[in-house]
Amino acid sequence: MTHRLLAAAAAFALALPAAAEEPPPTPLSPGEIVDAAPAADWVAIAPSDLLVMDLAPDAAGKARRVVIQLMPAPFSQGWIGNIRKLAAAHWWDGTSINRVQDNYVVQWGDATEKKALPNGLVTVRESEYEAPLDKYLQAALHTKMKSEEAGLLAAFRQSGDKKVQAVKWAIPRDPFAEETLVFRGWPIAVDRQEQSAWPVHCYGMVGVGRNLSPDTGSGAELYTVIGHAPRHLDRNIALVGRVVAGIEHLSSLPRGTGALGFYEEEAQRVPIASVRIASELPAAAQPRFEYLSTESASFAKYADARANRRDPFFIRPAGGADICNIPVPVRRVGTK
Amino acid sequence: MTHRLLAAAAAFALALPAAAEEPPPTPLSPGEIVDAAPAADWVAIAPSDLLVMDLAPDAAGKARRVVIQLMPAPFSQGWIGNIRKLAAAHWWDGTSINRVQDNYVVQWGDATEKKALPNGLVTVRESEYEAPLDKYLQAALHTKMKSEEAGLLAAFRQSGDKKVQAVKWAIPRDPFAEETLVFRGWPIAVDRQEQSAWPVHCYGMVGVGRNLSPDTGSGAELYTVIGHAPRHLDRNIALVGRVVAGIEHLSSLPRGTGALGFYEEEAQRVPIASVRIASELPAAAQPRFEYLSTESASFAKYADARANRRDPFFIRPAGGADICNIPVPVRRVGTK
């Protein structure tokens, strides 16, 4: 059955009339570009960077697994270290999803606020909401980076806007920050004057609930974005990762009826059966994921297509995109 | 029970220490500003501009009503005229919600694609995806507008960027358009060079499903945005309104497992019991809504607070916001 669709998939490839010369190829959609990316353009995510949250099965008895990829250094490592300790202590087992606010967040943790935290959690300072640009570039340069990219990034740091344009995935017109870019698999905002960089609250990003400043949260209370990117939270609260699978188990939950979307009744809270770092699971049971390298030509093509939709459904390419309109493709490897 | 909250409500007002002078007032949150807006700042929405969609009751037997506010002239009037005819013909009664795609849209209409459309629907041209700026300003000037605002808008049209800055709710740094503004209750993008204006795909906006160009859709197939604003759709497809109540009945639906989030099984589709223009309902049964006038001082304060969160939870105001981060407040009047 065909449906009136508002966005085309591969099924909408045009049939072009025969001509003496080869017709230009039908422009690919962003999804088609991703699907065509060679294996070498994909980067395996280390199992130690995956947080695996199993909710209680749904009403039909189906499993509900949410997988979260944790951010790399230099971002938010204090909270991420705490999260690793909490997961190792099986601390979230028996906690719950407590808040679902439409066009905002799903939040989970210990509804009683009485459960003792494991030993060894660190208190993270507010300054850690951002990473110094120095450290950011250093972390980048210490990895196996192509020299060309290193050149581009060094130029980016030292130069003015013209060089920034040369970094294809930098988006200069952003209402919230001097500039935003997708770097090493993550959406980042940068302020070169302040020499700092910070993660951005796109859909599916995971952050750390806290009380009022100077509290920064331990990592025991987490949330994910299920609506339009609440960029006003950037630099005000820690981001630690993103949901890479199973977001639908969170975004489709009934909305809470209490203030800020909190569930008012115990029975409404969704039990969390377990949360584990994937590397703690038996090897055969570890889910595996990979992301499209943001340093690859495929990603550059994909980002360009997101900003300029030329595939058949579209009439007028936008000529631009915001950082959260260019989500980094992440896919499962195998079937777990 | 107190919860670790990631965003404060009025409950988080700080208790400041006693001092010889009055402490500065605690900055209000955007929600508090809206709640404090005087009655005169609210604009009643005409019942003829409200589309009332009643879904089948949920599993617990609870009613599920979605109310949509239709856009005013000069935007999308061809499709809106069709929608009025479809509603008058009770055409959607017995149709269904057929597609729920995470971080994208919920779409509804006739899954069989066989139901005969009512007579009198017009075919709308692609040029209607935008409104000429002339017509846009003319429509504005023909309404009961404060002369000061008329001056601002005329200046906006003729001048360069400096005057645009004077229009407090114009947002110059937008990745998708020359500029965006909230005008007369709606999120709009503008291109002064092309002398055109068009509605913007924010969360909850409602649009018209279509096939490939040159088809523009009749209005029989509708969708609403349930994720990060898909601005790449602007000017490529018609927007006709926004959900003002009951979006949670759509955004919390199970995601479809077919391509693009279409439901694969008949049983998954959510039946639509009826769709009516509110003015067709008995007077006592008509839901009533009002929106915060975007020409009011309250709205300017609210927009400023959205762009610069100074309420106690926040540490660092963003200093900017995108158009979809400043949703126009709409509230129910009475209890229907």
Task: Name residues whose C-beta falls within 8 Å of residue B69's C-beta, 6 or more positions apart in sequence.
Answer: B45, B49, B50, B51, B241, B242, B244, B289, B291, B330
CATH 3.30.565.10 fits A27-332, yes or no: no
The position carrying tokens 């069989």 is: B112
Note the pLDDT of residue B136: 59
Which of A37-46, A126-135, A166-175, A296-305 is the least confident region? A166-175
Strands (E), chain A: 42-44, 50-55, 64-70, 96-100, 105-109, 131-132, 170-171, 179-183, 186-191, 196-199, 205-208, 222-225, 239-245, 270-277, 288-292, 330-333
Are the Cβ atoms of B209 and A235 closer than 8 angstroms?
Answer: no
Query: What pLDDT is recorded for position A193?
Result: 78
Q: Contact, A64 vs A249, CB < 8 A?
A: yes
**pTM, full prediction:** 0.87
Residue whose entry in the numeric block shows the structure tokens 């959260």: A324
Q: Indicate the pLDDT class of residue A144, thresholds 50, 70 and 90.
A: very low
Instruction: Check CB contact under 8 Å for B3 and A104.
Output: no
Closest to A173 in 3D by CA, of A31, A17, A329, A321 = A321
Cβ neighbours of B1 in A, within 8 Å: 111, 113
**Share of residues in chain A with pLDDT > 70 (%):** 82
Distance of alpha carbon A222 from alpha carbon A211, whole angstroms: 12
Tokens 């609260």, located at residue = A237
Distance, in Å, from the CA atom of A205 to the CA atom of A108, rounded to the nearest integer, reads 14
Q: How far apart are CA A206 and CA A211, in angstroms?
A: 17
Residues of B in contact with A109 (CB under 8 A): 4
Residue B39, CB-side half-sphere exposure with 13 Å CA sphere = 1
Q: What is the ipTM of this complex?
A: 0.86
| Token representation of residue A278 | 């994937």
- The 10s digit of each residue's pLDDT in A22-65 is 777 888 999 999 999 999 999 999 999 999 999 999 999 999 99
Going from the C-alpha of A41 to that of each of A13, A184, B84, the distances in angstroms are: 25, 12, 50
Residues of A in contact with B99 (CB under 8 A): 3
CA A143 to chain B, closest CA, distance in angstroms equals 31
**Which positions ≥6 away from A62 have C-beta within 8 Å?**
none
Joined tokens for residue B31: 């929600």
pLDDT band at A104; cut points 50, 70, 90: very high
Interchain CB contacts (distance < 8 Å): A and B: 204
- Map tokens 């009533």 to a residue: B288
Inter-chain CB proximity B4 and A213 less than 8 Å: no
Residues of A in Cβ contact (< 8 Å) with B248: 102, 254-255
Whether residue A13 has pLDDT greater than 50: no
Q: What residue ranges of chain B have pLDDT lower than 50?
A: 1-19, 138, 140-170
Domain positions in chain A are: 27-332
Amino acid at position B119, single letter? N
Quote the pLDDT of residue A159: 38
pLDDT confidence of residue B134: 65
Query: Residues near A72 by Cβ (< 8 Å), separated by ≥ 6?
Result: A49, A139, A184, A185, A186
| A191-249 confidence digits (pLDDT tens) | 877 888 999 999 999 999 999 999 999 999 999 999 999 999 999 999 999 999 999 99
C-beta atoms of B8 and A103 within 8 A: no
Residue of A nearest to B176 (CA): A320
